[in-house]
């Protein structure tokens, strides 16, 4: 043992004088990660199929223990990279069963000859995930992480597909950032949005070599959530929350015990958009933080607010939506804001028992805010503190409420991450599902918190009611989310309207829907969320085409598999999801010209007769049978704002 120590020490002494560099690959050998300490700076790079995807990029942290970004030494390898394999199931994500295979490699960086941090990599055939483990220094047992050097250097010719972060404190009642701004597509790298960086996930095109999606996962109460800050030369680095979030309250730093871990930062990459649409990395590298207190029930539902707004949160309308939900064969009705004053708790209990007789359960809306914004809608002052929250949840359990939708969160600071976690953990004690709105991106939460259902974190359906401009751009935006926002977590969009107009009479006033009925069917499959409150209304039973209502009655909300087929962000999407043995191939088109493509659909056999919902040039939809040809190829035509659905 002594000799071994001496040998290790001698090697260390020799290597100390020279830069150290080591590489390892994904299980299939295509992704290569290289780590070195050139000029004393911790650095990594990523190549795919021999092409550089992430150029040499900085690693390191600036902490209360010291600045771990310069004068660092990469220590010699302790353990060789190893293959890790894990099978797991999560019913609420894009793929119900996952077989995760990755190479794990650990790199230890030292400062002044003492180990400062490890970079732990896990590299699958489509993703690079890495996080830091920070070591104690002398007798310290805790550290503050002030910032990270962690960066992602894109090539200068790359283009970006990004959602700029807004300044905190603005927006409706000071609720910014709500993580629901629009995207800038096909934009050169080297910018920084509106000066505040970008919201995860961030998509890049590596010239004509392929695609890169950067995000993070495994963010719990143990760290803050991050964003990407853009720099002039195409470097994007991890940015912590803005000081003004939460009304300026709370720290924008991260506090960790020692030894302590940061969240995982993830890079999903490949020659096409398939790895990005199909990735499960947000869930691969995290673990459940507690067990589900019961078997949660997921499914579709309806909500009056999306068409009827605040005035519809009244007893009679909710009763009508319970009847409608039962007639659709759906699970739940979401009772949105202001029910505390416009309906009241006693009448909510009446509605819950009326619903139960029809096999329907309620979701109740809550305002999260205590001291972080001025959103006035009630009920409020409940979800922000554990005493009131648990009392309320006990009441909810007693009347059989299925879940909550909590809105208007404060930002990405560690204290807000703790609020999400506390709400989820308390709700699990009472068997309640959680949906978040006005909220940050979920970061692996479907697996970490078994009663987490879905988050908004997108410019969602409410905007279609608020403005005609959002309706005019509905197809454009819908062609972005399957490649970016929805690839890393459930997305509560609340759409698939069959009303022509966003008002309760479906009369020609207010916002007019520009997209077709088949489009509405396609996005019901495309936008993945285990709980779906669709924007359907009771009048759709008589004023929408029967084939559309019949489809919406049966469309699943839980999926076993997803496949990218074709598409480009902001232009068009063709993709497929599987539920059991049923495949749904869906497409939408935002381009002015009718999309005409021939695609291979290996999920169907030649000679299969599938149901085909499609649009003519006037966006009039119809349902026909389609026989799959011998060569397995299918010609697809989708007019602007239209859709297609093929179903076996």
CB of 180 to Ca ion, least distance (A): 6
Between 438 and 530, CB nearer to Ca ion:
438
Asked if 35 contacts 81 with a C-beta cutoff of 8 angstroms, the reply is no
**Phi/psi class of residue 492: alpha, beta or left (left: φ > 0; alpha: ψ in -120 to 50)?**
beta
CB of 462 to Ca ion, least distance (A): 6
- 212: closest CA among 225, 195, 228? 228
CB of 467 to Ca ion, least distance (A): 13
CB of 510 to Ca ion, least distance (A): 18
CB of 504 to Ca ion, least distance (A): 20
Counting Cα atoms < 13 Å in the Cβ hemisphere of 120 gives 12
Asked if 161 contacts 90 with a C-beta cutoff of 8 angstroms, the reply is no
Between 289 and 441, CB nearer to Ca ion:
441
> What is the rounded CA–CA span in Å between residue 476 and residue 470?
10
Read off the tokens for 624: 């026909």
Three-state secondary structure call for residue 64: coil
> What is the rounded CA–CA span in Å between residue 184 and residue 570?
10
CB of 170 to Ca ion, least distance (A): 14
Asked if omega into 303 is within 30° of 0 (cis), the reply is no
Ordered alpha helix ranges (H), 17-127: none
Between 438 and 482, CB nearer to Ca ion:
438
Between 253 and 436, CB nearer to Ca ion:
436
CB of 276 to Ca ion, least distance (A): 25
Asked if 254 contacts 262 with a C-beta cutoff of 8 angstroms, the reply is yes
CB of 172 to Ca ion, least distance (A): 9
Between 337 and 645, CB nearer to Ca ion:
337
Rg (CA), the chain: 25
> What is the rounded CA–CA span in Å between residue 322 and residue 308?
15
Between 60 and 438, CB nearer to Ca ion:
438
SS (H, E, C) 395-412: HHHHHCCCEEEEECCCCC
Residues that bind Ca ion (CB under 5 A): 438
140 φ/ψ angles, rounded to the nearest 5 degrees:
-75, 140
Q: Count CB neighbours of 542 within 10 A.
A: 8
CB of 407 to Ca ion, least distance (A): 7
Between 260 and 438, CB nearer to Ca ion:
438
- 416: closest CA among 249, 569, 260? 249
Between 135 and 408, CB nearer to Ca ion:
408
Between 511 and 641, CB nearer to Ca ion:
511
CB of 437 to Ca ion, least distance (A): 5
> What is the rounded CA–CA span in Å between residue 175 and residue 142?
32
Read off the tokens for 513: 């829907």
**CA distance to 258, 342, 600, per residue, from 574 (Å):** 47, 43, 11
Asked if 313 contacts 336 with a C-beta cutoff of 8 angstroms, the reply is yes
Between 239 and 438, CB nearer to Ca ion:
438
């Amino acid at each position: 043992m002594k000799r071994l120590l001496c040998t290790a020490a001698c090697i260390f002494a020799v290597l100390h004088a020279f830069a150290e560099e080591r590489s390892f690959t994904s299980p299939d050998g295509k992704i290569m990660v290289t780590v070195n300490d050139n000029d004393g700076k911790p650095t990594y790079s990523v190549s795919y199929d021999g092409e550089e995807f992430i150029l040499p990029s900085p690693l390191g942290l600036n902490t209360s223990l010291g600045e771990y970004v310069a004068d660092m030494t990469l220590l010699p390898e302790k353990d060789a990279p190893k293959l890790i394999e894990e099978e797991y199931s999560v019913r609420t994500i894009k793929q119900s069963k996952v077989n995760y295979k990755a190479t794990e490699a650990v790199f230890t960086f030292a400062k002044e000859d003492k180990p400062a941090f490890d970079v732990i990599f896990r590299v699958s055939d489509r993703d690079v995930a890495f996080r830091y483990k920070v070591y104690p220094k002398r007798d310290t047992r805790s550290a503050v992480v002030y910032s990270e050097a962690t960066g992602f250097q894109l090539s200068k010719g790359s283009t970006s597909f990004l959602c700029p972060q807004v300044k905190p404190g603005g927006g409706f009642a000071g609720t910014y950032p709500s993580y629901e701004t629009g995207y800038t597509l096909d934009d050169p790298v080297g910018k920084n949005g509106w000066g505040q960086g970008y919201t995860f996930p961030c998509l890049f095109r590596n010239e004509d070599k392929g695609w890169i999606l950067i995000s993070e996962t495994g963010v719990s109460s143990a760290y803050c959530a991050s964003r990407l800050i853009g720099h002039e030369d195409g470097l994007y680095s991890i940015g912590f929350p803005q000081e003004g979030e939460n009304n300026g309250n709370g720290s924008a730093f991260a506090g960790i015990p020692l030894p302590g871990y940061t969240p995982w930062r993830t890079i999903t990459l490949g020659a096409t958009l398939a790895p990005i649409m199909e990735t499960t990395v947000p869930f691969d590298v995290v673990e459940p933080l507690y067990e589900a207190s019961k078997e949660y029930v997921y499914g579709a539902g309806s909500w009056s607010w999306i068409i009827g707004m605040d005035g519809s949160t009244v007893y009679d309308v909710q009763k009508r939506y319970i009847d409608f939900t039962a007639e659709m064969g759906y699970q739940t009705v979401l009772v949105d804001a202001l029910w505390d004053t416009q309906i009241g708790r006693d009448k909510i209990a009446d509605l819950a028992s009326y619903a139960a007789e029809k096999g329907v359960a309620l979701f109740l809306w809550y305002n999260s805010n205590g001291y972080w914004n001025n959103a006035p809608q009630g009920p409020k002052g409940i979800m922000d503190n554990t005493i009131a929250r648990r009392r309320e949840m006990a009441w909810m359990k007693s009347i059989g409420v299925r879940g909550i939708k909590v809105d208007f969160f404060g930002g990405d600071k560690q204290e807000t991450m703790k609020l999400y976690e506390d709400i989820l953990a308390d709700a699990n004690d009472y068997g309640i599902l959680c949906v978040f709105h006005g909220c940050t991106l979920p970061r692996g939460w479907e697996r970490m918190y078994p009663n987490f259902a879905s988050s908004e974190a997108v410019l969602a359906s409410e905007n279609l009611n608020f403005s005609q401009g959002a309706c005019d751009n509905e197809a454009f935006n819908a062609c972005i989310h399957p490649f970016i926002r929805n690839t890393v977590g459930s997305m509560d969009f609340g759409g698939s309207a069959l009303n022509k107009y966003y008002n309760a009479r479906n009369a020609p006033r207010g916002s007019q829907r520009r997209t077709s009925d088949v489009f509405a069917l396609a996005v019901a499959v495309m936008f993945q969320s285990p709980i779906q409150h669709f924007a359907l209304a009771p009048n759709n039973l008589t004023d929408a085409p029967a084939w559309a209502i019949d489809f919406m009655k049966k469309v699943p909300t839980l999926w076993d598999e997803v496949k990218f087929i074709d598409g480009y962000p902001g232009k068009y999407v063709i993709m497929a999801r599987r539920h059991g043995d049923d495949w749904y191939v869906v497409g939408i088109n935002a381009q002015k010209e009718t999309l005409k493509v021939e695609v291979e659909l290996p999920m169907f056999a030649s000679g299969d007769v599938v149901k085909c919902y499609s649009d003519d040039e006037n966006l009039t939809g119809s349902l026909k049978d389609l026989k799959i040809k011998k060569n397995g190829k299918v010609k697809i035509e989708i007019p602007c704002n239209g859709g297609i659905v093929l179903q076996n």
